[in-house]
Chain A
Amino acid sequence: MPDLLVIVLKLLAVAAGFAVLPLLIGQAEHKVMAHMQGRLGPMYAGAFHGWAQLVADGVKFAQKEDVVPAAADRRIFKLAPGVALVPYLLVLLVVPVGPHGQVALDLGPGLFFALAVMGVGVIGAIMAGWSSANKYALLGGMRVAAQLMSYELPMVFAASSAAMAAGTLSLSGIVEEWHWWWLPWQAVGAAVFFVAGLAELRRPPFDMPVADSEIIFGPYTEYGGLRFAFFLLAEYAGILVLCALTTVLFLGGWRGPFLDTELGWLWTLVKVFALAFVVIWVRVSYPRMREDQLQRLAWAWLVPLSLAQLALTGAVRVLAA
């Protein structure tokens, strides 16, 4: 019976994290981006520095009419936001936040599961682009597909480098094996993983598929109301998942300079939010990359770099053994 209780509590914790942390990241994006541009950002909602802005946005989205274009593929169109959002919730299940089983589901091949499910999230955007019966949505969907094809490869290579270094596919296992000298050793892999993840989430500067000023938010052109809000939530949940995975694979998860066992979850959160800050920072600092530049970056830089990292990891493992 206590086992069942523990499982329920863990699932509740994951659901709460999934509901709250993306909103925190979204609010941070509002405020950080504003201050990086010399503005204040939201100041009214919630009376204190606009803390309730995203709640207000949610209320607004919920009030809007649920529109499906006449020519749209109705079932796919309605399903797409769910397909975009739910995978990130599933990934959070296997991400360890602390030592000694502070994870909802300690999966043996956790890394494999996380990467596979994360890829499904992108399918949601492709479905949306295809089913909207809109040329901009279709263009965006195709670009999403092209981006997924090119960036999934270096991302998987970089992740497998971490798995190879640890000798396990279990996410908790990878953190257990982590040592500080992984930082220089796996630095290239970490950078490639993070950049490829950003591209897969279609975050600026890799947001060509949704380029709002060119193809009007791409796959999401025809969406409004709650379905659109789900896509936005999926983007922030995606940031959370990407930062959590980068933390676990390359930055040592719950490992910190002190109090690893007591404050492990806090170390994880601190690292996740530091990475989320970098995500926002990069978004504010760089202009959008052109479609051909995106492909070039993936194939001419990230893939060779991740392969080199893989070779380095393998060589060090063999020589050390």
Chain B
Amino acid sequence: MGAVGRLPGGGLAKGLAVTLRTMTRRSVTRQYPEVPPDLAPRSRGVIALLEENCTVCMLCARECPDWCIYIDSHKETLPAEGGGRARTRNVLDRFAIDFALCMYCGICIEVCPFDALFWTPEFEYAEYDVNELTHEKERLREWMWTVPPPQAPDASGEPPKEIAAAEKAAARAARRPGGGSA
């Protein structure tokens, strides 16, 4: 290619070659509404709420940089079975995420200690009214059906710390004569 470019008129030939080569390649256009896009794994589309796991600890709402999570709750007292002190329990009244404010940082999902929040790759929830971008807990619960299964660990990656530690302990026990008890 470099030699062609130096001949007189070589630049012109080069230009023609570029366009011809591009024509023989597949075009980069995505036929989006007809063909769904192939999203990357762990795409951040929308946040789903597994209401059953939520304990109203408020960690997500407090950590949210945009303050776009709204939580209302009340306490219920359950009489303990077979006597004893009555137990109190948090009941979730409202859990809403305003996706007009959300910046998809995922901190709420990271911080949730009870696995109540999940990413899902669904992204087609644009609305004509900005108020409708606030998804209440029923809608957030519906998104749960679209949560993909967790990705399998990378086969060539390092094993998780827990497994590595357990294997090391097992190997040490096997090396020690007498079954390992002191």
- Write the residues of chain A forming the contact surface with B, with a CB cutoff of 8 angstroms: 32, 34-40, 43, 281-282, 284-286
- Asked if B27 and A40 sit within 8 Å, CB to CB, the answer is yes
Q: Name the interface size band of chain B.
A: 10 to 19
Count of A-B contacts with CB under 8 A?
A: 35
Residues of A within 8 A of B29 (CB): 38-40
Q: How far is the CA of A188 from the CA of B46 in the complex (A)?
A: 64
Q: How far is the CA of A16 from the CA of B28 in the complex (A)?
A: 36
- Asked if A39 and B27 sit within 8 Å, CB to CB, the answer is yes
Residues of A within 8 A of B16 (CB): 281-282, 285
Q: How far is the CA of A196 from the CA of B31 in the complex (A)?
A: 40
- Asked if B19 and A36 sit within 8 Å, CB to CB, the answer is yes
- Can you pick out 19 interface pairs between chain A and chain B where the beta carbons lie within 8 Å of each other? A32-B23, A35-B22, A35-B23, A36-B20, A36-B23, A37-B22, A38-B22, A38-B25, A38-B27, A38-B28, A40-B27, A40-B29, A40-B31, A43-B31, A281-B16, A281-B20, A282-B16, A285-B16, A286-B15
A35, A40, A285: the one within 8 Å of B15 (CB): A285
Residues of A within 8 A of B22 (CB): 35-38
Smallest CB gap from B13: residue in A? A285
Q: How far is the CA of A40 from the CA of B15 in the complex (A)?
A: 20
Residues of A within 8 A of B12 (CB): 285-286
Other CB < 8 Å A-B pairs besides A37-B19, A37-B22, A281-B20, 4 of them?
A32-B23, A35-B23, A282-B16, A285-B15
- Write the residues of chain B forming the contact surface with A, with a CB cutoff of 8 angstroms: 12, 15-16, 18-20, 22-23, 25, 27-29, 31
Residues of B within 8 A of A32 (CB): 23
Residues of A within 8 A of B23 (CB): 32, 35-36
A39, A40, A43, A284: the one within 8 Å of B19 (CB): A284
Residues of B within 8 A of A282 (CB): 16
Q: How far is the CA of A285 from the CA of B14 in the complex (A)?
A: 9
B interface: dominant SS: helix
**A285 → chain B closest CB, angstroms:** 4
Smallest CB gap from B12: residue in A? A286
A interface: dominant SS: helix
Smallest CB gap from B11: residue in A? A286
Residues of A within 8 A of B28 (CB): 38-39
- Asked if B20 and A35 sit within 8 Å, CB to CB, the answer is no
Residues of A within 8 A of B27 (CB): 34-35, 38-40
**B123 → chain A closest CB, angstroms:** 22
Smallest CB gap from B17: residue in A? A285
Q: How far is the CA of A37 from the CA of B19 in the complex (A)?
A: 7
Smallest CB gap from B30: residue in A? A40
Q: How far is the CA of A34 from the CA of B29 in the complex (A)?
A: 10
Instruction: Find the residue from B12, B19, B20, B29 having the highest chain A CB count within 10 A.
Output: B19
Smallest CB gap from B34: residue in A? A43
Residues of A within 8 A of B31 (CB): 40, 43
Q: How far is the CA of A235 from the CA of B16 in the complex (A)?
A: 22
Smallest CB gap from B18: residue in A? A285
Residues of B within 8 A of A285 (CB): 12, 15-16, 18-19
**A273 → chain B closest CB, angstroms:** 15
**B24 → chain A closest CB, angstroms:** 8
Residues of B within 8 A of A281 (CB): 16, 19-20
**B141 → chain A closest CB, angstroms:** 37
Q: How far is the CA of A282 from the CA of B20 in the complex (A)?
A: 10
**A28 → chain B closest CB, angstroms:** 12
Smallest CB gap from A278: residue in B? B16
Instruction: Find the residue from A35, A43, A282, A286 having the highest chain B CB count within 10 A.
Output: A35
Q: How far is the CA of A284 from the CA of B27 in the complex (A)?
A: 15
Residues of A within 8 A of B25 (CB): 38
**A277 → chain B closest CB, angstroms:** 10
Q: How far is the CA of A38 from the CA of B20 in the complex (A)?
A: 11
